A and B are shown apart, each in its own frame.
Chain A
Amino acid sequence: MTPVVECVDLWKSYSGRRVGLKTLLLRPEAARTSRFARRWALEGVSFTVARGQGFGILGANGTGKTTLLSILLGTVLADRGSLAVRGRVASLIEIGAGFHPELSGRDNLFLYGAILGMRRLEVAERYRAIVEFSELGDAVEEPLRTYSAGMVARLGFSLIAHAPADIFLIDEVLAVGDARFQEKCRRHLQEFRKRNGTLVIVSHDMEALAEVCDEGIRLDLGRVADAGPIGDLIRRYHGP
């Protein structure tokens, strides 16, 4: 079976730091050196994810996890290597990217849905289920600025949970809302996997990773330092 995510030898460097006109005009050599000061964010990363798998990405801060996820999502381009992502992708990299505080929960749901690539009709069809999942009730008619942070996260996650997707890319957003809602989210992700959905998760929450993933890699300074079943991976990373 062809894997749904296939990365072969990905390389990425953030060379293009933004330069001001002043630097360009007055100190062109400074602009050049800062632009081409090579530092690889990813160095030859390869892995595959099979359909229906939960795939965890571990590693310390600044080792390239979010860069890798951004490349999978397509917002950042790799410099070298090949990448294939087969299926409809939904990103949970930042919950509620594009939410506006003055709009009601309902308006924000439709806007966020469009931002995630859903049609209005798709959101409308799922609207009741989304609101029910969020447990926000009548609060969806209130402006978002009246929400607590937990309520905002509930609204965002509930929409994403109902987005028509084959692959979820998740960046450290499993800690949504209170303990009960977190549990509900994890259950939802597991059900998603049972329907043959694929998860790619970046997290520092080993317990959550162990629960929803079965395979993974550990990144260290842009390289794949370890790979294998998630339990072994965590054990080798943290010790028994």
Chain B
Amino acid sequence: MNAQALELLYLLVRKDLKVRYKSSILGYAWALANPFVFAFVYWVAFKYIMRVQMENYSLYLITGIFPWLWLSIGVTQATRSYQNNASLVKKVRIPRAILPLSSVVQEMVHFLFALPVIVAFLAFAGGFGLHASWLWQLPLMLAVQLAFVYPVALVFAVGNVYVHDIEHLAGLAFAMLFFLTPMVYPISMVPEGLRRYFELNPLHALMDGWRGVFLSGAIDAGKLAYAIACAAVFAGIAWFAYRRFAPRIAELL
């Protein structure tokens, strides 16, 4: 990506953030409220009603939900990015791969804004401290998740121009995957025979990576390698799909 495209990406992301935070008095607080309310509801439901037996359950929820929302909202927003910016596709010539990327990066920036709050929550609710290893682990996890999410977002966005149903499928898929990844119970609760299928889910590898970093400053190297390998495969598919199908999207919008 050249410098001009980077500047365009920067301005597109800045536009969305500015608009989002400007239009309400509590802009930043609202962005945080959503994941916290989610986490709180699951905490009540699963800790006190379903009686999940797990130490630090609230921390398990919080450290998963924030990166999850980046991923799921990023992809669902990106899926509609060509429809939402039809005039940019039809009336001017911009590098089209940038539109879904700006959706994904925008959600990444939200996640970055939330990081201090996650860390504060870890410290106050669980007595967890900072880790020096975060200096390389957090950027690494950010890079891996971005590299993982963007190709998926790009394929969904281009595909959605051809087959409109993809945006509905994406919404359903993330609702389902939230429970299958798993996000609200530990994978150790999954019955032995099923567990290895659950572990094939690259989203599990990613989320496990985030939790490891936040809670103990350690990443499971095997799972991380698996997430990176999946990201590489998705990137290959996305590259092919984009080259094959993106040139015609202007006339289909």
Contact = CB atoms under 8 A, between A and B. Distances in A.
Interface string B1-44: 00110011001100100110011000000000000000000000
Nearest to B22: A102
Interface of B: 3-4, 7-8, 11-12, 15, 18-19, 22-23, 85, 87-94, 161-165, 247-248, 250-252
Interface of A: 14, 16-22, 24, 70, 73-77, 89, 91, 93-94, 97-98, 100, 102-103, 107, 110-111, 114-120
A114 B8 contact: yes
A24 B165 CA distance: 11
Nearest to A120: B7
A98 B87 contact: yes
A38 B108 CA distance: 44
Given A98-B88, A107-B15, A114-B11, A18 B93 contact: no
Contact of A74 (B3, B4, B93, B165): B93
Given A74-B93, A115-B8, A115-B92, A14 B164 contact: no
Contact of B94 (A21, A100, A115, A120): A115
Given A75-B91, A115-B92, A100 B163 contact: no
Contacts of B12: 111, 114
Contacts of A18: 161-164, 252
Contacts of A119: 3-4, 7
Contact of A115 (B88, B90, B250): B88
A107 B252 contact: no
Ordered nearest first, which 8 A-B pairs have the shortest CB separation? A94-B91, A21-B165, A97-B87, A114-B8, A97-B91, A75-B250, A93-B91, A102-B19
Nearest to B252: A18
A70 B252 CA distance: 13
